[in-house]
Amino acid sequence: MLNYISHFFERAQHLTRHLHHLLGPPGSSCLTCGTRAVLSARYPGICTRCVQQIPWVRQIRCQRCGRGVGCPDCVRPHMQHRSFVCNRSAVQYNDLMREWISMYKFRGHERYAPLLTALLLQAFQAMSEELTRICGKETPKPLWRPDALTYVPVSEERLAERGFNQAERLAAGLAAAARIPGVDLLQRQINTGKQSFKSRAERFETMKHAFSIHPDGLNLLKDIYHAKGHAGSQSPMPVQLLLIDDIYTTGSTLDACGQVILAAAGHVGIPLRIYTLTLARS
Ligand SMILES: [Zn+2]
Ligand SMILES: [Zn+2]
């Protein structure tokens, strides 16, 4: 499914670029503000004024969850056992980003897909550069790249309602753009309902049983591991996996997904390191 979507995305991006070229300046309507203006070459569909309003997370204050502001969350004791090494997000979840994401997620405006993917890609590149600086002792340092990427699944019920999973689409878009294999690793067991009405403790509790490993998930992990060519050696290199979602709020969803993947990988003796990347950090 993901491969198919990746392919579809590549075609769609190609077509969008082509259309931009044909319909581009002077004067196309900006996707997000509607003004007729010269559209950005880098962020599909929007004008330069809207580009300037993107609330990028530029300064990371919390190394763990990637927040741009002071973070009381990650020092809590139970946070020390989270399944992912760190999270990074493209933008802060302000009113403008809420609007862009909901136009896509709830109202199905497909034209937002290339734009949101471009934001995620930019954050991926920044994350990659940051982790390259931090990790590895070899010189010159090889650019940090995950071996594969996957996404937070939605329930069948939610999928039927919306027609698509925004996290899966974002992951497929990034996989195609960054040329990283995308894999379906997880499935959602239950529909957890609206998380936004729940307390932090309730969110963690509901999330514990929300996900399970996809029937093909373990084989995919094994393939990725063997493709690294370290299986059987004394100190095998861990598989580096990037997990994608649209919004990071408390991190409980990403943590729950990560726990399931870590447990499954541990079961078959595959060392694994999970990193997470989200479009917005609330
Ligand atoms: Zn605009
Ligand atoms: Zn934090």
Query: In the predicted model, is pLDDT for residue 25 greater than 60?
Result: no
What's the pLDDT tens digit per position in 60-92?
A: 889 899 998 888 888 888 778 899 999 999 999
Question: What pLDDT, on a 0 to 100 scale, did the predictor assign at position 29?
Answer: 94
Question: What pLDDT, on a 0 to 100 scale, did the predictor assign at position 85?
Answer: 94
Query: In the predicted model, is pLDDT for residue 115 greater than 80?
Result: yes
Whole-angstrom CA distances from 26 to 20, 38, 39, 42, 47 are: 11, 6, 8, 16, 11
Question: What pLDDT, on a 0 to 100 scale, did the predictor assign at position 231?
Answer: 47
Question: What pLDDT, on a 0 to 100 scale, did the predictor assign at position 68?
Answer: 85
Question: What pLDDT, on a 0 to 100 scale, did the predictor assign at position 208?
Answer: 74
- Block residue for tokens 């896509």: 104
- How far, in Å, CA of 82 to CA of 74, rounded? 10
Average pLDDT over residues 32-46: 94
What's the pLDDT tens digit per position in 183-234?
A: 999 999 876 666 667 777 777 777 778 999 998 888 988 988 988 875 455 6
What's the pLDDT tens digit per position in 223-282?
A: 889 888 754 556 678 999 999 999 999 899 999 999 999 999 999 999 999 999 999 999
Ligand positioned closest to the Cα atom of 36: 1
Ligand positioned closest to the Cα atom of 68: 2
The alpha carbon of 154 and the centre of ligand 2 are apart by a number of angstroms equal to 25
Average pLDDT over residues 27-42: 92
Question: What pLDDT, on a 0 to 100 scale, did the predictor assign at position 196?
Answer: 65
Question: What pLDDT, on a 0 to 100 scale, did the predictor assign at position 13?
Answer: 67
Q: Where are the domains of the chain?
A: 22-53, 61-281
Long-range contacts of 162-165 (CB under 8 A, 24+ apart): 162/105, 162/106, 162/108, 163/108, 164/108
Q: What is the mean pLDDT of the chain?
A: 87
The alpha carbon of 129 and the centre of ligand 1 are apart by a number of angstroms equal to 29
Question: By CB neighbour count within 10 A (0-12 exposed, 13-18 middle, 19+ buried), where does 236 fall?
Answer: middle
Ligand positioned closest to the Cα atom of 71: 2
The alpha carbon of 165 and the centre of ligand 1 are apart by a number of angstroms equal to 26
Confidence (pTM): 0.85
**Tokens coding 189:** 């067991």
Question: What pLDDT, on a 0 to 100 scale, did the predictor assign at position 72?
Answer: 85
The alpha carbon of 65 and the centre of ligand 2 are apart by a number of angstroms equal to 4
Contact 95, 282 (CB under 8 A): no
Helix (H, G, I), strand (E, B) or coil at 131: helix
> 166 or 4, which is more confident?
166
Helix (H, G, I), strand (E, B) or coil at 273: strand
Q: Which chain residues have CB less than 5 Å from ligand 1, an ion?
A: 30, 33, 47, 50
